[in-house]
Amino acid sequence: MPGWLPRAMVLALALYACFRLGNWAFDQLIGLLINVLIAFFVALAIEPAVSRMAARGIRRGFATFLVFLVVLVFGAGFVVLLGSMLAGQIVDMVEDFPKYLDSVINWVNQNFRTDLSRVDVQDSLLHSDWLQKYVQNSATGVLDVSATVLGGLFRLLTIFLFSFYFAADGPRLRRALCSVLPPSRQAEVLRAWEIAVDKTGGYLYSRGLMALISGIAHYILLLALGVPYAPALAVWVGLVSQFIPTIGTYLAGALPMLIAFTVDPWYALWVLGFVVVYQQFENYVLQPKLTSKTVDIHPAVAFGSVIAGTALMGAVGALIAIPAVATLQAFLGAYVKRYAVTDDPRVHGRRQGRRGERMSARLRRLWHAPEDEDGQGEDEEPQGPQPRP
């Protein structure tokens, strides 16, 4: 056996063990890494406001606390207002449920010539097997729901703490990062940080603008239908549909449909149709234009980045995909060498001019020119020795 073979085998086993250990550690820490990534983008989003307040003499820690306090107060007030409204509407729906059921049964009896009654329908529902199974599963799933809620609160607290430290200690963090890099690399890192702040702010601006447009559009519809709490529902639709990716649209549209159903069941269908139509308009017309202007990326790139982010990290990836891609594109654009484009009609999607057509026709004539008996063309000079003058 060669002397180097045992050492090579031990080295290979050690490398494999390190790989397995790193893979296990990454799987265990993937949740924490995602929370840190979200916190970093939250810190980038509030960086402009914190920097302005710090420039006016306010300490960065206190300025970051004020920004988070404003966001927390606004969010808590909105949730409390919406929760009280929803609780009142649910109580009204439960009280008026017999009337809705009677109207539906009368409509079925008139159109399908049946003889149904509310008592028979209620008895069949109360004694059905699927309802009993649903009640049992709901009772056993209370603990799971409680664990999910507690886990979500702990995750929000983790994101809040990391984002607070990133925003409050931003200069110290940048100084610590640049201290291990040469001066040429320090400028690149600081430039990338500045680009990330600008792109993240632009993304949030575009989302806020789309939330405003969506809220106004749905407010006009709900006001026209006479649905109560139209302003609060419009704010709900605008915020939830824009800042909760993937499922935000369905959550935003479900509540107005529920409230509209208490007024008239047909109004719920009108709200559903409007939500579907407006969502298509937003996805294919409004969102690509606003996103491409605020974060300066192509609409197709923005759409593809959202799909890729969703595939990689789910809802979190869909939320941070566009600012991340915009930052990477703006940073790499400084290192891509570009050249002046020639003034060619084909660049603009047009064909060549008459000069090109003349050249192609001349080439075709030369190609199809008749040849003489010696295999020479008519316009060619004869080969061989020429007589002296």
Alpha-carbon gap, residue 27 to 20, rounded angstroms: 11
- In degrees and rounded to multiples of 5, residue 150 shows phi and psi of -65, -40
DSSP secondary-structure letter at 169?
Answer: T
- pLDDT confidence of residue 337: 67
Domain residue extents for the chain = 26-122+146-180, 183-335
pTM of structure: 0.62
Per-residue pLDDT for 389 more than 60? no
Q: What is the pLDDT of residues 42-87, one digit of tens each?
A: 888 888 888 888 888 888 888 889 988 988 888 788 777 767 766 7
In DSSP notation, 55-94 reads: HTT--HHHHHHHHHHHHHHHHHHHHHHHHHHHHHHHHHHH
Q: What confidence score (pLDDT) does residue 25 get?
A: 92
Asked whether the predicted pLDDT for residue 21 surpasses 90, the reply is yes
pLDDT, tens digit, 9 for 90 and up, residues 113-138:
777 777 777 677 666 676 667 666 65
Query: What is the b/e burial string over 202-241, where b = at least 16 CB atoms within 10 angstroms of the residue's CB?
Result: bbbebbeebbebbbebbbebbeebebebbebbbbbbbbbb
Query: What letter represents residue 164's amino acid?
Result: F
**How far is residue 321 from each of residues 318, 324, 339, 358, measured CA to CA in Å?**
5, 5, 30, 51
